[in-house]
Amino acid sequence: MRYSYEFKMYCIELYRQGKWPDTPDGIKDQYNFRRMIRRWVRVLYHNGPLALRHSETKKKWTSQEKYELVKQVLDGSPCQAVALENGINPGMLHLWVRRYKYLGYHGLETSPGRPPKDPTKMKKKPNDNSQELTESEREELLRLRKENARIKAEIEVIKKEIALREEKQAALLKAKKQQSSKNSGKKDTN
């Protein structure tokens, strides 16, 4: 449910007087409504009265701005406090932190969003990729593809070497265990 700016300010004023407003119709849980009022008070304190107004457009957070907030949380600041100071929902900040931990900085760059219901109604963007590559760009692309293939091959060789080493170590360990079990069997017979 969206509350008007005037209603929010009215609730905050009553809260400051030590009173609670009546829970609006359609709200089943009085505790959650009161918790929301306390949050409004904290938002007002940290960001001023304009933070309680509904904006006409959502703020677009850049990857760098998201990273700065995530970094504050990872450095030990409480997620709730960082969110309140910056005027965002704590749940959104938790999501950014989870994405950063799982995908790194790249997780902050993309926001998957909800897929459109009807693909035919999607806005068409001008196709900027329709330009042909220049000769130098084509050569660079080929060079990078070759380098990428070479690096992948090197990684595969290293993985195989590690697997062979681990296999050899396991065989040696198994041989030692068998040797020690034979030796302990001989001592018991004496």
Provide the CA 3 distance to its chain's centre, in angstroms: 29
pLDDT value of position 152? 94
pLDDT value of position 145? 93
Tens digits of residue pLDDT in 14-45: 888 998 888 887 777 777 888 888 888 888 88
CA dist 147 → 35, 150, 155, 156, 177 (Å) = 57, 5, 12, 14, 45
pLDDT band at 160 (very low <50, low <70, confident <90, very high): very high
Helix intervals (H) in the chain: 5-16, 30-47, 63-74, 79-86, 90-103, 105-109, 135-189
DSSP output for 5-54: HHHHHHHHHHHHTT--PPPPTT---HHHHHHHHHHHHHHHHHH-GGGGSP
